[in-house]
Amino acid sequence: MKRIIVFLLVIFSSLTLFAQHKKDIVTEHYKVSGNCEQCKKRIENAAYIKGVKRAEWDKETQQLTITYRPSLTSAQTVLEHVAHAGHESELVKVKDEDYKKLPECCAYKDQAIHKH
């Protein structure tokens, strides 16, 4: 009987830890500027840093969805990486030198938008 109680306590503790661990994952959405599939790939690659479980940018809505662990990174850090890749967000503006590295079709600040 004692073994059963210990076994049940171990199982219950494991489930509680797993449930708490799940809560440590956050999903947020941010507006990130871009134009094309090259932009999508660049934005998503830049957003995939340590702690990020998922990064998906939607060209039509200009929304970057990030799922991450706040204990390992922050949305601010992720968006700083994206800005360094040349794409600004509602929280982090891009530096001119990073923006100028973008291919012409990805120059979202220009009036003439080139589509792929």
Question: For residue 115, what pLDDT is reported?
Answer: 46
**CA gap 36, 20 in Å, rounded:** 38
- Identify whether 82 is part of a domain: yes
**CATH code at 59?**
3.30.70.100
- Identify whether 7 is part of a domain: no
**CA gap 76, 25 in Å, rounded:** 16
Question: 84 lies in which domain range?
Answer: 25-106
- Identify whether 73 is part of a domain: yes
Question: For residue 110, what pLDDT is reported?
Answer: 77
Question: For residue 81, what pLDDT is reported?
Answer: 98
- Identify whether 46 is part of a domain: yes
- Number of compact structural domains in the chain: 1
Q: What are phi and psi of 47, to 5 degrees?
A: -75, -20
Report, as ranges of residue numbers, the positions in the chain whose pLDDT lies below 50: 8, 19-20, 111-116
Buried-exposed string 49-66: b where 16+ CB fall within 10 A, e elsewhere: bebbeebebeeeebebbb
The predicted model scores a pTM of 0.76
**CA gap 59, 14 in Å, rounded:** 41
pLDDT digits (tens, 9 = 90+) for 50-72: 999 999 999 999 999 999 999 99
